[in-house]
Amino acid sequence: MDSASSDEFTPTFYIGQHESDRVRVTPELLRQAQDCNYDMLTTPITTPYFHSRVLTILSSHFEELDSHPNRSLPVPTIPSLSPVDTPLAPGEIISQLLAVVSPWIDLCSPDPVVYNLSRQVLELEVAYAAFCGIGNIILPCPKLHHGKLSGEGVTQYACAVQDVLNVGHYIQMSVSLPMMDNPEQDSDNVIGSLAERARAQYLGLSEDGSYKNSMDELEEDDLGSTFVLPRKKPAKVDFFGTWDAWNVIRTVCKYNNRLFVALSIPPHLPPLSVSSRWHSEPLRLLCITSETFFKNPGGYPAFTHNHQALLTRYMRIRNPPWLLLCDVGPIPGFDDPETLLSPAEGFLTSNEAADPSSPTPAEASELQRKGSKKSNKTINDPTPHLNYLRNLQRRQPPRTMLERFGAGYQDYLQAPLQPLTDNLESYTYEVFEKDPIKYDKYLLAIQRALIDWRDQCKRASGPSGQIVVAVVGAGRGPLVTRALQASESTGIPIEMWAIEKNQNAFVLLQRHNEETWGNRVNLVKSDMRSWKGPLRQAAPYRTGYTGQWPLSCNEEEESSNANTASNGLEPFEPQPPTHGPIDILVSELLGSFADNELSPECLDGILPLLNPTHGISIPSSYTAYLTPIAAPKLHADISARLSNDPEAHNTPYVVMLHAIDYLSTASRPSTSRSTASGKSESVPSPVPNILQAWSFSHGPAEPLPAGSANKHNERHARLTFNLRDRAVCHGLAGYFEAVLYPGVELSTNPINMEEKSPGMMSWFPLFFSLKIPLYIPDASTLTVSIFRATDNRKVWYEWMVESWSTLMGGTGGGEKRRVRLGASEVGSSKNGGCMM
Ligand SMILES: C[S@@+](CC[C@H](N)C(=O)[O-])C[C@H]1O[C@@H](n2cnc3c(N)ncnc32)[C@H](O)[C@@H]1O
């Protein structure tokens, strides 16, 4: 399908500016910033005066503790704010400000006094910002490393955040986090940080700041001999370290929908798996410093290809994050009037910004090095970083067809249709009919089936030897139109039947028959399972197509002779009506997980009418597929429904998955143009491992076992997925592939949908939710068990997930052992199952 060449859509980039040493924002400064094309500014909540007051309180308390080592003294209370403590006041500009909680507090500190005071500062600041009417607050980055301790303070941080979420009931909070944990960059670059004041005894350090010699430092080498770790181990980047901290925070805060991430974009991007993980999280801000850019040969700041692709991907999230330029220079004209230029004078041209020679990360660092040596070319642009982002905004690739069609549906939960029990509205049919791909595929499948039928000289069942085609579940008739077109385009006559149980849609079928189909279609208003088949007069027609179109003279003759002579019946003697077979049965009863709209059960009721030797079902088979995903936003949305709907987690939802992360992926990313989650050209995305759950095939029916009670339509699967990186599983994404006719397929499976049915939009995936998300450590496996169950009245699914790890040694000796780490609850849609 054609891409989005005519797409007029330009994404909105909300861009703010942050200066670490800003003291206050005046209306004039804000106006000036907006004149420069910024959308918002950050503001501190408290002043340096307040900061020094807290430092004094802390120092005095420590002094007192030192002078009374045996007394337990309560941590002092920070007095409430006074006018000198804060630059903020309620007023007109407040809605355009992002308030920044003091970065010098340490909510992860192992020192209880530092933690306590930090928490007090947080509470005072959030309460005052809320009072002033601030809508968004940026929380300081949780400090993950304290001396020998790593990640220990995250739960403290989380508890503090949980509490302040209840202080400001409308405020949205974003936790500042780098994309990955680099302990070397976790050092305190904030002047006057309380973290520096933490006492050595709480950091696992001796008084002089060196590591205490504890058993923790003793480790065994591969040969089992004990050795002492070197003083300072080289710091290792933990790609998922900050995500892990975020996961703890949002879990403690119960996936609060006012809690977000302010993600810092580093100059060197981590692997795709890391940026993909963040893509699934609620990103409110992307923090971009001058280091995130490299300097292009013209001396302008620019992004690498990878940074551009990352931004494109993140900015296509349903609620795209805002961009925050941090410490890229002051607002021109305010602190430095020299820099105030009109845009026409000095802004980056779009050619310069387009920069076709945009480098790879390696080239960028090379340029950076060279640039810092010689290319100190001065540029006449007071806001080059901002202008670069504005240019990027204009140059965003157009949306794919799928993105345009799905706009507004991304991550939007829909209960699956139940076309068997419910009568669909005309509008729903209209939406189906907007997808030309599905109908093109059906047309092709019917054409091929007709041609093969003719070429293989199969006997047909129509009264004059035509091939009998029945569309069952015809809706408003699009497949009937395709069947008639297939007959016309191939020149192969058919006898056309259309069966529909929705009496409202049936009115339109009748109208179509009169107005567009020339009354060529035999319409039947019935449930297909109780239909007896094409009505035949008992007149002893000869049936059977012998392979030539049009019928040969002889055959026509034989045919008319047959009316009078065969079977030994008297011609025209009235006989009770009989029913003939169907040669080609066309149905579209597929759901997002193939069989979830009960196609197997419906077809069971009509397949006995299929020509027993040559009959063809279109589709001939369909297969359901699954993969585990992280989908924190869906989890939060579903959990929020629980108070009104206790079955919320037991409902499989149709959803255009977007802000999700595939947990089990192949090593190579794809750069395909558009996928199930709506990626665009040249935006690499991980390739998920998607495994087959089960299949159904349909052809001339074998008689069902007596009293089968639909048991033959039960299915179950147990699938194992390997995971490289730690993650949280929120549920399973379900897809399907269908073979309409050999060589003509439909697919929603992200692995091959682009080859099999490019641009098809009729089905979004199905999401099976886990009530309690399952945490999975690095290098584990995940086993998915899923059942299609039935009691002959309805059909439902049951699913669960288990996580496993392989351990060495232990009580069993030195062998590898697979241990189960955890298991989810069993999800079951039994209560809301599909009625048969
Ligand atoms: C998914 S819609 C497809 C409609 C149409 N073929 C199209 O492609 O637009 C399925 C249709 O099958 C009809 N249907 C479902 N179960 C049926 C049954 N047991 N007997 C007759 N019609 C049925 C529904 O009313 C609905 O019109």
Query: What are the CA-CA distances from residue 377 to residues 77, 291, 351, 529 (Å)?
Result: 53, 17, 18, 79
**pLDDT score at 427:** 93
DSSP calls for 633-681: HHHHHHHHTTTT-TTGGGS-EE-B--S-EESSB-SS-B--S--TT---T
Mean pLDDT of the chain: 86
Beta-ladder partners of 138: 100, 174
**pLDDT score at 399:** 83
Give the residues surrounding ligand 1 with Cβ less than 6 Å away: 419-420, 424, 429, 432-433, 473-475, 478-479, 499-502, 505, 527-529, 588-589, 602
Percentage of the chain exceeding pLDDT 70: 82
Cα of 420 from ligand 1 centre, angstroms: 7
pLDDT band at residue 183, thresholds of 50, 70 and 90?
confident
Q: Please tell me whether 802 is known to bind a ligand.
A: no
Q: Please tell me whether 377 is known to bind a ligand.
A: no
Is CATH 2.60.120 the right assignment for the domain spanning 426-588?
Answer: no
Pocket test for ligand 1, best of 430, 509, 589, 834 (most atoms within 8 A of CB): 589
**pLDDT score at 147:** 82
**pLDDT score at 332:** 87
- CATH 3.40.50 spans which residues of the chain? 426-588
Pocket test for ligand 1, best of 422, 434, 602 (most atoms within 8 A of CB): 602
Taking residues 623-631, report their average pLDDT. Answer: 98
**pLDDT score at 293:** 94
**pLDDT score at 454:** 97
Phi, psi of 199 (to 5 degrees): -80, 145
Distance between CA atoms of residues 551 and 557, nearest Å: 10
pLDDT band at residue 231, thresholds of 50, 70 and 90?
very low
Taking residues 588-604, report their average pLDDT. Answer: 96
pTM for this one? 0.86
- pLDDT above 70 for 316: yes
- CATH 2.70.160.11 spans which residues of the chain? 617-835
**pLDDT score at 569:** 45
Q: Please tell me whether 152 is known to bind a ligand.
A: no
Maximum mean pLDDT: which of 396-410, 641-655, 692-706: 641-655
Q: Please tell me whether 760 is known to bind a ligand.
A: no
**pLDDT score at 402:** 78
- pLDDT above 70 for 302: yes
Cα of 472 from ligand 1 centre, angstroms: 7
Q: Please tell me whether 439 is known to bind a ligand.
A: yes
Closest ligand 1 atom to Cα of 471:
6
Taking residues 4-28, report their average pLDDT. Answer: 84
pLDDT in tens, 71-81: 888 999 999 99
**pLDDT score at 807:** 85
Q: What is residue 375's DSSP assignment?
A: -
Cα of 419 from ligand 1 centre, angstroms: 6
SS3 per residue for 272-299: HHHHHHHHCCCEEEEEEEHHHCEECCCC
**pLDDT score at 253:** 97
Distance between CA atoms of residues 215 and 226, nearest Å: 11
- pLDDT above 50 for 219: no
Cα of 597 from ligand 1 centre, angstroms: 10
- pLDDT above 80 for 7: no
pLDDT in tens, 742-779: 999 999 999 999 999 999 999 999 999 999 999 999 99
Cα of 405 from ligand 1 centre, angstroms: 23
pLDDT in tens, 805-817: 998 876 656 788 8
**pLDDT score at 545:** 42
- pLDDT above 90 for 129: yes
Pocket test for ligand 1, best of 417, 418, 420 (most atoms within 8 A of CB): 420
The C-alpha torsion from 104 through 109 and 114 to 115, rounded to 10°, is 100
pLDDT band at residue 291, thresholds of 50, 70 and 90?
very high
The ipTM, to two decimals, is 0.99
pLDDT band at residue 565, thresholds of 50, 70 and 90?
very low
**Which residue CA neighbors atom 23 of ligand 1 most closely?**
473
**pLDDT score at 681:** 45
**pLDDT score at 418:** 85
**pLDDT score at 341:** 41
For the chain, give percent helix, strand, coil, nearest 5.
Answer: 30, 25, 45
- pLDDT above 80 for 347: no
CATH code for 617-835?
Answer: 2.70.160.11
Query: Whose CA is closest to 172, among 183, 161, 180, 182?
Result: 161
pLDDT in tens, 428-437: 999 889 998 9
Taking residues 434-458, report their average pLDDT. Answer: 96
- pLDDT above 60 for 220: no
- pLDDT above 50 for 458: yes
- pLDDT above 80 for 214: no
- pLDDT above 80 for 233: no
**pLDDT score at 669:** 59
* Residues classed as catalytic: 588, 597
E-strand stretches of 57-207: 97-100, 136-139, 145-146, 149-150, 172-178
Helix (H) or strand (E) holding 387: helix 384-394
